[in-house]
Amino acid sequence: MNAHRIFIAHSMDDRPFVDSVRRWLEHSEWRSAEVDDPASWAAEGEDARRMIKERIREADSVIVLWSDRAARSPWVNYEIGMADALEVPIRVCVAEGTAAKLPAVLEETELIQLRS
């Protein structure tokens, strides 16, 4: 049986929030999942958009870490659009205190409230 593969879409400025989600994953049904975190990739000479598309295509799920910073990130919005276009299931973790409204494409997704 292959491990579940998860892609985490987040703002690079939300590291504590990312760590909270990783801890949550360790205690969830996805504890053995392989996690793709763009912040951990070596970006030298790589086409970031191509890498993101490939990794999302390979993912079983995308977890969007939604925060005010993520709302302003063109990369997070690109990753959301790519996951939607590739029809990869999306879950959303909303950072405590986030004022930014979810994009319309995420309004019907499962929301998970975590502390950052």
The domain segmentation of the chain, as residue ranges, is 5-114
Beta carbons of 66 and 102 less than 8 angstroms apart: yes
- pLDDT for 39 equals 62
Q: Are the C-beta atoms of residues 53 and 79 closer than 8 Å to each other?
A: no
Length of the chain: 116
- Asked if pLDDT for residue 1 goes beyond 50, the answer is no
Q: Which of 45-49, 68-72, 83-87 has the weakest average pLDDT?
A: 45-49
Question: What is 5-114's CATH number, 1.10.1040.10, 3.40.50.10140, 3.90.1570.10, 3.30.465.10?
Answer: 3.40.50.10140
Spatial contact of 9 and 64, defined as CB atoms under 8 Å apart: yes
Is-above-0.85 flag for pTM?
A: no
Q: What pLDDT does residue 116 have?
A: 43
Report the C-alpha gap between 23 and 66 in whole angstroms: 17
Q: In the numeric block, which tokens belong to residue 65?
A: 């870490």
- String of DSSP letters for 60-98: SEEEEEE-HHHHH-HHHHHHHHHHHHTT--EEEEEETT-
